[in-house]
A = this chain, B = another copy of it.
């Protein structure tokens, strides 16, 4: 049995910060220069909400709007759970009043996390363990970021996205390519107390990002992954209608378009008003593009996530 993405919804917290707000805390920052690099003006901040609260909101919207009934799985992708025990997906299961036959677990993976969870969802359907269910990505990186962190604060944004995946006669999710390079694990990290890295690089911040090294990894690895997806899907580059990369930053996306050699017009970007929402970024960009009819029905869209870990993954979907 094959599978398809049937519905998408997302949630953005009410509170947000603009570059002007960042300037107040950091008078020395050149916000024009920051905007030219990141492409991000507005970033959402989940102040009183945790990732379960945000996940609940996008799931509720998804379920009610589409009158969804058969939820066999609830896979919650996050790296910012309020607690490790129990898994946040079980708390969400209670809040959504789901059936006992619905299996739940969290996947911890970052900017590639949606693709990983989609691969797991499609596989559970293929193996006939499940027929349909929800992949929800919910991230609150803001809780790790200090006021004066010039690497992370201008970029990361809190949000959740919920995607309903169900079985389908035609294969509408395919060509998965997934990979990792643990050698880069220290370049985007919230170090634990016992990690030696902690004293060296962290003062007021909980999170550390070596932007240059993450960028270099991205340029090399994403192109390779992109070509492998096309090969695995037996598709020529010009047969893909749109590309949605993880919404890392304007600088990263522009360089990827140039390095891979793709048409800029086919590349979906929603950074300006949403920011980099980690694992939630690809579904939000996809939904916005569908709503605005930038992406037409029955299009072939290449999705590709990459980042923290290092980790990367992509696939082709049919909308």
Interface residues of A, Cβ cutoff 8 Å to B: 50, 74, 78-95, 98, 100-110, 113, 116, 119-120, 122-124, 126-127, 129, 144, 176, 178-183, 185, 188-192, 194-195, 207, 308-311, 313
Are A90 and B126 in contact, CB atoms less than 8 angstroms apart? no
Interface contact B185-A91, CB-CB below 8 Å: yes
Query: How far is A129 from B106 in the complex, measured between Cα atoms in Å?
Result: 20
Query: Which B residues lie within 8 Å of A92 (CB)?
Result: 182
**B192 lies within 8 A of A100 (CB):** no
Asked whether, in the complex, the Cβ of B127 is within 8 Å of the Cβ of A108, the reply is: no
A107-B110 contact given A85-B308, A127-B122, CB 8 Å threshold: no
Minimum C-beta distance from A99 to chain B (A): 8
**Residue among A178, A180, A194, A311 having the largest count of chain B Cβ atoms under 10 Å:** A180
Is B105 in contact with A189, judged by CB distance below 8 angstroms? Answer: no
Q: What is the chain B residue whose CB lies nearest that of A83?
A: B192
Q: Are B87 and A311 in contact (CB under 8 A)?
A: yes
Known A90-B310, A207-B85: A100·B194 in contact at CB below 8 Å = no
Contacts of A106 in B (CB 8 A): 107-109
Q: Is the CB of A108 within 8 A of B129?
A: no
Task: Report copies per complex.
Answer: 2
Q: Which residues of B contact A100 (CB under 8 A)?
A: 179-181
Q: How far is the CA of A105 from the CA of B313 in the complex (A)?
A: 12
CB of A1, distance to nearest CB on chain B (Å): 10
CA distance A114 to B289 in the complex (A): 39
Tell whether, in the assembled complex, residue A103 and residue B188 are in contact, meaning their CB atoms are under 8 Å apart: no
Instruction: Contacts A79-B85, A129-B178, A190-B83 given; indicate if A185 touches B94 (C-beta within 8 A).
Output: yes
**Distance, CA A275 to CA B99, complexed state (A):** 32
- B179, A101: Cβ atoms closer than 8 Å: yes
Across the interface, do B195 and A95 meet the contact criterion of CB distance under 8 Å?
Answer: no
Pick the contact of A93 from B50, B102, B120, B182 — CB < 8 Å?
Answer: B182
User: Is the CB–CB distance between B108 and A88 below 8 Å?
Assistant: yes
Residue of B nearest to A73 (CB): B178
Q: Are B102 and A180 in contact (CB under 8 A)?
A: yes
- Check A182–B79 contact: CB distance below 8 A: no
By the criterion CB–CB under 8 Å, are B104 and A105 in contact?
A: no
B195 touches A129 (CB 8 A): no
Given contacts A179-B103, A182-B98, A86 and B195 within 8 Å (CB-CB): no
Q: Does A180 contact B79, Cβ atoms closer than 8 Å?
A: no
Residues of B within 8 A of A181 (CB): 93-94, 100
Q: Are B102 and A179 in contact (CB under 8 A)?
A: yes
A84 to B308, CA, bound (A): 11
Smallest CB separation, A232 vs chain B (Å): 10
Q: Can you list 26 A-B pairs, Cβ within 8 angstroms, ordered by A?
A: A79-B84, A79-B87, A81-B84, A81-B108, A83-B190, A85-B110, A85-B144, A85-B207, A86-B311, A87-B110, A87-B308, A87-B309, A90-B308, A94-B181, A100-B179, A103-B311, A105-B107, A105-B113, A119-B124, A119-B129, A120-B123, A123-B123, A123-B124, A123-B126, A129-B176, A129-B178
